[in-house]
Amino acid sequence: DVQLEESGGGLAQPGGSLRLSCAASGFSFSTNDMHWVRQVAGKGLEWVSGIGTAYDTYYPASVEGRFTISRDNAKSSLYLQMNNLRAGDTGVYYCARGSPLVRGVISHMDVWGQGTTVTVSS
């Protein structure tokens, strides 16, 4: 089975840091682009970052300079380092696979994890 499992969520103070992890299984992790997508409680989805097979990275303006996406192909794992956290970063963070049907990292997502919850509060 193709699976993604996130971990590392929790409570952080404003200005603090957290590192999320995503363990992939059931597919060739190294040959797939990967993404993080978040969802604020009761609201919609927001793309947070993407990383290609060549380790090229992409971010929206809302997190650029604060968040860093990375991958370890030997461990089939994806990471999201989140620094200088704000209350608006609170939400459920999903790890997702970029579709191999699209050339390039900017793609739709065909496999999603169940998410890990991040709460930023003092």
Partner 1 sequence: EIVLTQSPGTLSLSPGERATLSCRASQSVNRNYLAWYQQKPGQAPRLLIHGASSRATGIPDRFSGSGSGTDFTLAISRLEPGDFAMYYCQQYGTSPITFGQGTRLDIK
Determine if 116 is a binding residue for partner 1 (CB under 8 A). Answer: no
d(CA 108, CA 113): 14
Please give the size of the binding site for partner 1, defined by CB under 8 A. 25
C-alpha 46/C-alpha 100 separation (Å) is 21
Query: In whole angstroms, what is the distance from residue 106 CA to residue 34 CA?
Result: 10
3 binds partner 1 (CB under 8 A): no
Q: Does 91 bind partner 1 (CB under 8 A)?
A: no
- Answer for which of 9, 21, 27, 47 binds partner 1 (CB under 8 A) is 47
Picking from 6, 87, 91, the residue whose alpha carbon sits closest to that of residue 41 is 91
By the rule CB under 8 A, 60 interacts with partner 1: yes
23 binds partner 1 (CB under 8 A): no
User: Interface with partner 1 includes 108 (CB under 8 A)?
Assistant: yes
Nearer to partner 1, 13 or 71 (CB): 71
Q: What SS3 state is found at 19?
A: strand
Distance CA 107, CA 41 (A): 24
Tell whether residue 112 is a contact of partner 1 (CB under 8 A): yes
Q: CB burial class (10 A; 0-12, 13-18, 19+) of residue 61?
A: exposed
Among 29, 67, 93, 94, binds partner 1 (CB under 8 A): 94
Binding site for partner 1 (CB under 8 A): 35, 37, 43-47, 50, 58-61, 94, 99, 101-102, 106-110, 112-115
